[in-house]
Amino acid sequence: MFTIIDEKKAQLDAKRPLPKYTIRSLREKLNLEWTYNSNAIEGNTLTINETKVVLEGITVGGKTLREHLEVINHREAISYVEEIVQGNENLSAWQIKNLHRLVLKGIDDEYAGVYRDQQVFISGAVHTPPAPYLIQEQMEHLMTWYQGEAQTLHPIVRGAKLHAIFVGIHPFIDGNGRTSRLLLNLELMKAGYPPMVIKVENRLAYYNALDKVHTAHDYQDFIDLVAVEVEASLDLYLKAIA
């Protein structure tokens, strides 16, 4: 199913240990793109260069505190993802809440890391997330699937499904999209892939693919969309260490 991607991943693995400084700078580049795009998808107006400047500790005039916090928080959330990967920790609902707490820290502390107690709607989406009283049960179901059947899947399929099912549950008031993209990369990174980036320019295709998951239970478009970006990240690495 992923013949070319698997070959490219094998090529990358054959080159391990990878050159430390090249990997560090590639990781910085991808982490910046990940932060910029993930925040831009949810409406943050900082450009990629402004995002970089904020990460360097400088404020950008005319931009809200919230937009600055979203950048800083996303970097902290990535660091947490990296910690989980390094510690080879098993995914749990507790970790997901921790991740979400970092995403909303200082923005909405009341709801940071806490499941919602109110109904929400995903604007533009056909699918309506479950009522609050069903969240606990559906998250437990997601974790059971993750520990079981998901472990037999290709990491790209596992990560894409984890993202799609999670965002369908929409367990938090806000920050579900960012958290779901963090979870997808957590899964890829655990399997030794570089992080992938869903580009803000591809937002429409991304929403349509998620709509198809949630209305027709058809994951193919979303898996394909993820696979394209995984291959782009692998190409970036392979080119750099050729």
Q: Is 79 annotated as a binding residue?
A: no
Residues 178-197 that bind ligand ATP (CB under 6 A): 178, 180
Q: Please say whether the beta carbons of 169 and 130 come within 8 A.
A: yes
- DSSP class of residue 97 equals H
Site for ligand ATP (CB under 6 A): which residue of 113, 155, 175, 195? 175
124 binds ligand ATP (CB under 6 A): yes
Q: Of 42 and 82, which CB lies nearer to ligand ATP in the complex structure?
A: 42
CA distance 76 to 79: 5
Span interacting with ligand ATP, options 56-64, 91-99, 108-116, 206-214, rule CB under 6 A: 206-214
Q: Please say whether the beta carbons of 170 and 142 come within 8 A.
A: no
Q: Of 19 and 43, which CB lies nearer to ligand ATP in the complex structure?
A: 43
Q: Please say whether the beta carbons of 36 and 48 come within 8 A.
A: yes
Q: Is 25 annotated as a binding residue?
A: no
Span interacting with ligand ATP, options 11-19, 83-91, 143-151, 167-175, rule CB under 6 A: 167-175
CA distance 145 to 140: 9
Is 217 noted as a catalytic residue in this protein? Answer: no
CA distance 140 to 197: 27
171 binds ligand ATP (CB under 6 A): no
3-state helix, strand, coil in the chain (%, to 5): 70, 0, 30
Site for ligand ATP (CB under 6 A): which residue of 207, 231, 240, 241? 207
108 binds ligand ATP (CB under 6 A): no
Catalytic position from the list 68, 74, 170, 214: 170
CA distance 32 to 17: 23
CB atoms < 10 A from the CB of 13, how many?
A: 10
Site for ligand ATP (CB under 6 A): which residue of 67, 174, 187, 229? 174
Residues 27-56 that bind ligand ATP (CB under 6 A): 41-42
Angle at 32 between CA 240 and CA 209, to 5 degrees: 95
Q: Is 180 annotated as a binding residue?
A: yes
122 binds ligand ATP (CB under 6 A): yes
CA distance 226 to 236: 16
Which residues here bind ligand ATP, judged by CB under 6 A?
41-42, 122-125, 167, 174-178, 180, 207, 210-211
